[in-house]
Amino acid sequence: QVRALNEIAKERGQSLAQMAIAWLLKDKRITTVLIGASSTQQLDNNIDAIHQLDFSQDELDSIEKILKNIKA
């Protein structure tokens, strides 16, 4: 499932971490995401996630399907 999520992130032009941050921030109830960056480069990469917060319906459907399989 991680490979499938990585592929979606790659198609979005994001790392998996960036897509995960964007996924969390798409929920209007979430106002803050705490990240544990171990370098300034990692921090900069994570901050770049805010430049692409929108998901297509296909992306949302694919991610939801993957997450449901993980929970099962």
> What is the b/e burial string over 29-58, where b = at least 16 CB atoms within 10 angstroms of the residue's CB?
eeeeeeeeeeeeeeeebbebbeeeeebeee
| pTM recorded for the entire structure | 0.86
Cα(4)–Cα(37) distance, rounded to whole angstroms? 24
Q: What is the pLDDT of residue 8?
A: 98
Q: What is the pLDDT of residue 72?
A: 59
Q: Is 70 helix (H, G, I), strand (E, B) or coil?
A: helix
15-48 pLDDT tens trace = 999 999 999 998 899 989 998 889 999 999 999 9
Report the mean per-residue pLDDT for the chain: 93
Q: What is the pLDDT of residue 24?
A: 94
* Domain positions in the chain: 2-71
Confidence band, pLDDT 50/70/90 cuts, at residue 70: confident
